[in-house]
Amino acid sequence: MTSTRRIVEVAGQQAQLLDEPTPGFRAQAVTTLLDVIRLQGEGVGPQARRDRTLKLVADLGTKVLLGGGE
């Protein structure tokens, strides 16, 4: 099993400990975590990566504000 698959599996288990403010939030949280990890492979600097992480996190918040949809 590759490490990414294992991360998805364990992150899924950890997500079960979170509140589910909107339907599908837990799955969206796992996807966001993987998106944040992937940013490291895009060859951008640390500050740009953190800015993009902030946007990914804020987007997840926006989804919750919108009730779970896009």
Partner 1 sequence: MRFLHTHVENFKLLEDIKLDFSTDPAQPLTVVRAENGSGKTSLLYALLWAFYGERGLPEEVVAGGLRLGPAHLPAGKAVQIRVMVEFAHTDENEIETRYRLVRNVRETAFVGDKVERDGESVRLLRITSSGEDDLKSAEALVGKLIPLRLRSIFFTNGDAVQTYISGRVSSQQRQSQVHIAIKTLLGLDSLRTAVEDIEAAYKRLRSDLARSGGADTSHLEAELERMDGDLEKLRGEEAALTEAVTNMTAQRTKWDKELSGLRGIGDIDHLNARIASATSEQAGLQESRSRVIVRMRELVKSEECSWAFLSSHLENGLSVLSDLADRNVIPGTSLRVLDDRLELGVCICGEDLTPGSGHAQHVIALRDEQKKVSESQERLTELFHGGKLAAASAEAREKDGTDFFRRRADLQAEFTHVRDSLSTKLAELEQLKERRAAIDEERVRDLTDKLDGVAGKMANAQTEIGRLQSKISDLVVRHAEQEKALGEAEKATKLNHDLSVKRDIAKQLHDMAAGTLRTLEGDYVHRVSDRMNALFMEIVGATPEFEAGVFRRVHIDPDFNIRVDTHDGRTLDTDFELNGASQRALTLAFIWALMEVSGTTAPRIIDTPLGMVAGGVKTRMVDAITSPGSDEAPDFQVVLLLTRSEIRDVEGLLDQRAGIVRTLSNSKDYPEDLTYPWHADHPLSRMCSCNHRQSCRICARVYDAQHGISFRDEEATV
Binding residues for partner 1, rule: CB under 8 A, are 1-4, 6-7, 10-11, 13-15, 17-19, 21, 29-30, 32-33, 36-37, 39-40, 49-50, 53-54, 56-58, 60-62, 64-65
Q: How many CB atoms lie within 10 A of CB 30?
A: 19
Asked if 8 contacts 31 with a C-beta cutoff of 8 angstroms, the reply is no
Using CA atoms, how far residue 5 sits from 2, 19, 57, 62, 63, in Å, is 5, 23, 21, 27, 25
CB of 31 to partner 1, least distance (A): 11
- For partner 1, give the closer residue by CB, 17 or 69: 17
CB of 41 to partner 1, least distance (A): 8
